[in-house]
Structures are given as structure tokens and as C-alpha cells.
Amino acid sequence: MEHDAVVVGGGPAGLCFAVLLAQAGLDVRVLEARTERTRHSRAIGIHPPGLRVLDRAGVAGALFEQGVRIREGVARSRASGRTREVARLCFDPPVLAVPQWAVEDALEARLAELAPGALRQGVRAVRAERKEDGAVVRCEGGARIGGRWLVAADGARSALRASLGVPVYGTSLKDAYLMGDFTDATEDGPRAVLHLEPGGIVESFPLPAGVRRWVLHLDAPAVDPSARDLARIVEERTGSRLDPATCTMLSAFTVTERLAARMRLGRVLLAGDAAHEVSPIGGQGMTLGWLDAEAFAPLVAAEVRVGSGGRPGSTWPELWGAAERERLGAARLAARQARLNMALGRGLPAGLMAARNAAFSALYRVPWLGERTAARFTMQS
Ligand SMILES: Cc1cc2nc3c(=O)[nH]c(=O)nc-3n(C[C@H](O)[C@H](O)[C@H](O)COP(=O)(O)OP(=O)(O)OC[C@H]3O[C@@H](n4cnc5c(N)ncnc54)[C@H](O)[C@@H]3O)c2cc1C
């Protein structure tokens, strides 16, 4: 095997995994199909456990300089006829808002520092074959690259997962969303805001450089939507005015959940969305992938150090089993949380919505409930 570890996929999960392995002294190779990173950002929120992993990877400092610290989330509603605050949550430590591409840039730069040339772009893996001493990746064009370990971090539609025959349990959910980034003309500054409105939720989050991301729930997928459509719906539901001319990103999406039956087959690991795709509503997908890397990278490094003939100890299979169970359990929990968030975001007749919001308002006067909800939203419980 040419490398200690081959990572397929240079997204946030694969890059983070590779950085942690390179930091542990392993010879790593990352294969990424794209030749250029998309600036069309998906994830924007990094929860405190994700920041802990990025700190270990040596990139948290740079990201803190660029990002917006979200310390507070406010839920509002106009369902009762005038705008009322429903609840207010404190995030301590804060959530960091920074576009996914900026995080990927930082991880890529860190990898280049630790292992120059480790990232190979424009290489598409087609399938993986397990061997006694590791695994071999077959690539488009016929190249073959072997590693004592293989990490499949090739995203939700993972070709490697399919080639290895790992069963996946998934479902498509009925919720649809429209999302866009606009110049921030609100007075909400670094706050996350949820508008719980009869027509469906409108969420808004601060981004660096005076930009705000808007996400709104729709009953059916938007067909050929425009920035003007998004601005109109936001104004109808919340009264906030967005300038369509300032829109820098617009995306309509529906939601799929997929959970792999296993994350480890011998010396092959699945990580990130290849192992678990959860709804973006809740913003936990990217952090889940980093936590996979944090859980598995030390075990891979220990096994490589000990050598393929030996085992670092008799409890080794148990350690792997515990890590895999913990990661699959965390993915199930994130999926449940996201489903709850989506349910809360569906529209309701105004009277029902007002009554539900009044009940929330009363509940969230109990301080521990607010603390527990904030902890759950930010992956700290
Ligand atoms: C609209 C939206 C909003 C989101 N918001 C948030 C948020 O706020 N917070 C959050 O934590 N998460 C969020 N997510 C989820 C987050 O974007 C994903 O969980 C995250 O990108 C998964 O990272 P990954 O590295 O596992 O996979 P990906 O990001 O999909 O990366 C996989 C990489 O593998 C490469 N690849 C694929 N196939 C191959 C192949 N055969 N050979 C070589 N390379 C290959 C791809 O080019 C890609 O670079 C959001 C998702 C969406 C859709």
C-alpha cells in the first residue's frame, strides 16, 4: 500500500480527517473529483463541538477572525396581529457563522502546510476494494491508489459506499425550502432570528461582510424561483424588506435523510454525509462529519503506528465498536432534532399558530428549558 491512509472526498469531513491524520504523522492522500471549490455555500453554522475539532486541526483561530459569533437566537411572530417575541435563547459558547467554502479553504491550507501535495484534485474515485492489508481505490481513467486505511468522505451520494455494498436507510421528507443570501438591512446584527408565521417559518442568520442568509419553508418545492420571489415571501410573512438586487446566492432544496448501516468495514471507514445525511434544518451536518474525524482519526493513527501485524491492545475491537456506535447514535439524534425543527417550521392557521406561540412563550420563561434547548440546538447535549 502506497499510503497510510487514502481519503476520498475533499469536502469538510474528508479534509478535516486528512488534517488530523497528517498531524498524527501519517502519510495521507486525498482524492477530490472537483478541480475547483464551489462558492455556493451550503453550511454556514459551526456549533461549539465542531469548533473544538477545528481547533484541534489548527484552523479555528483563522475562522474566528472571519466569522460572526452568534450568541443569541430570537423567535418572533406576527401570528397574533402584531410582532411579538416568542422566545430568546443564549448560545454560550457562541455558534460561529462562516460560509462552508471558507472552512474548506482553511482546512485545505492547513493540509498543504502539513502534507504538501497530499490533496489531488480532479481525481474521481469509482470504487473501493477491500484487501487484507488495507484497501484500494480505483479511479476514473484507470489509476489505482492503495492505503492501509481508506476513508470514504465522498458525500451523500457516496460512490464508494455503494461499491462496498453498505446498506443505507433513507427517506425523502415532504418539506421544501428556499434559501438566499442578501445584504443585511435588518437591525438584528449578529442574532439568529426565527419568524414563526402562519405561512411557514422564515429563518435568518448573520454572515460575514454584512450579509444575511434567509431560509423559508414552503409546502411544495419552488419551481424556477427568483430572488424577487424570496424577497416577496419574506415581506409577506415577516414585514422585512430584502433588496433582490443584493442577492448573491439563491437555492431551493428538499430534504433527504440517509443513514448507513455501518461506518466501518475492516480498514475502510465512512465519514460525513457518506455515512449520514441529515436535514440542513438544524445545521448539524458539517459538524457531525468533523466529530466522525475526531472519533476515528486517533484509532486509525494508533493502528498504523502499531503496524498491520499487531493490535494496540485487547480492547481494540471494543474501542472501534464503541466509536462506531457513538457516531451512528449522534447521527440519529441530529436527524431527530432536524425533524423536530422542520415540524416547528411548518405553517399553521393563524389562530393555532398564535396559541402555540403563546404556549412556547410561557414555557421559555422557565430558564432551564431555554438552557436545555440552546444546548440541544448547538449539539452540546
Ligand atoms: C442548503 C444546506 C444548508 C446546510 N447548512 C448547514 C449548516 O449550517 N451547518 C452544518 O453543519 N451543515 C449544514 N449543511 C450540511 C453540510 O453542507 C454537509 O453536511 C457537509 O457538506 C458534508 O460534508 P462532507 O465532506 O461529508 O460531504 P460534501 O461536502 O458533499 O463533500 C464531499 C466531497 O467529495 C467529493 N466527491 C464526491 N464523489 C467523489 C468521488 N467519487 N471521487 C472523489 N471525490 C468525490 C465532492 O466533490 C465533495 O468535494 C447544509 C446542507 C445544505 C444542502
pLDDT in tens, 69-107: 999 999 999 998 889 999 999 999 999 999 999 999 999
Closest C-alpha residue for ligand 1 atom 41:
125
Q: Is residue 310 over pLDDT 60?
A: no
Helix (H) or strand (E) holding 51: helix 48-56
Q: Is residue 282 over pLDDT 90?
A: no
Q: Which residue from 41, 154, 175, 281 has its CB within 8 A of the most atoms of ligand 1, so it is best to mutate?
A: 154
Determine if ligand 1 sits within 6 Å of the CB of residue 379.
no
Closest C-alpha residue for ligand 1 atom 1:
42
Peptide bond into 93 cis (omega under 30): yes
Distances (CA, A) of 133 to 2, 224, 344, 377: 11, 50, 49, 41
pLDDT on residue 311: 63
Domain that holds residue 223: 3-377
For residue 123, give the ligand 1 atom closest to its CA. Answer: 43
For residue 9, give the ligand 1 atom closest to its CA. Answer: 34
What does the pLDDT average to over 330-358?
Answer: 94
Determine if ligand 1 sits within 6 Å of the CB of residue 33.
yes
Task: Place 306 in a pLDDT band, splitting at 50, 70 and 90.
Answer: confident
- How many folded domains does the chain comprise? 1
Largest CA distance in the chain: 71
pLDDT in tens, 158-181: 999 999 999 999 999 889 999 999
- Range in 142-151, 185-194, 285-294, 299-308 with the lowest mean pLDDT: 299-308
Closest C-alpha residue for ligand 1 atom 19:
285
Question: What CA–CA distance (Å, rounded) separates 297 from 323?
Answer: 11
What does the pLDDT average to over 218-229?
Answer: 94
Closest C-alpha residue for ligand 1 atom 6:
43
Question: What CA–CA distance (Å, rounded) separates 328 from 313?
Answer: 24
pLDDT on residue 251: 94
What is the distance in A from the centroid of ligand 1 to the CA of 12?
Answer: 7
In this structure, what CATH number is given to the domain that contains residue 83?
3.50.50.60
Question: What CA–CA distance (Å, rounded) separates 27 from 14?
Answer: 15
Determine if ligand 1 sits within 6 Å of the CB of residue 100.
yes
- Range in 74-78, 303-307, 320-324 with the lowest mean pLDDT: 303-307
Answer yes or no: are the C-beta atoms of 200 and 348 closer than 8 Å: no
- CA 352 to chain centroid, in Å, comes to 32
**pTM for this predicted structure:** 0.95
Determine if ligand 1 sits within 6 Å of the CB of residue 45.
yes
Strands 68-77 and 268-270: unpaired
Closest C-alpha residue for ligand 1 atom 29:
11
Q: Residue 374 region, left (φ>0) first, then alpha (ψ -120 to 50), else beta?
A: alpha
At 60, list the grid cell: 479555528
Determine if ligand 1 sits within 6 Å of the CB of residue 155.
yes
Determine if ligand 1 sits within 6 Å of the CB of residue 14.
yes
Determine if ligand 1 sits within 6 Å of the CB of residue 44.
yes
What is the distance in A from the centroid of ligand 1 to the CA of 13?
Answer: 8
Q: Bridge partners of 134?
A: 131
Task: Place 336 in a pLDDT band, splitting at 50, 70 and 90.
Answer: very high
What residues contact 173, with CB distance under 8 A and at least 6 apart? 254, 255, 256, 257, 279, 339, 342
What is the distance in A from the centroid of ligand 1 to the CA of 38?
Answer: 11
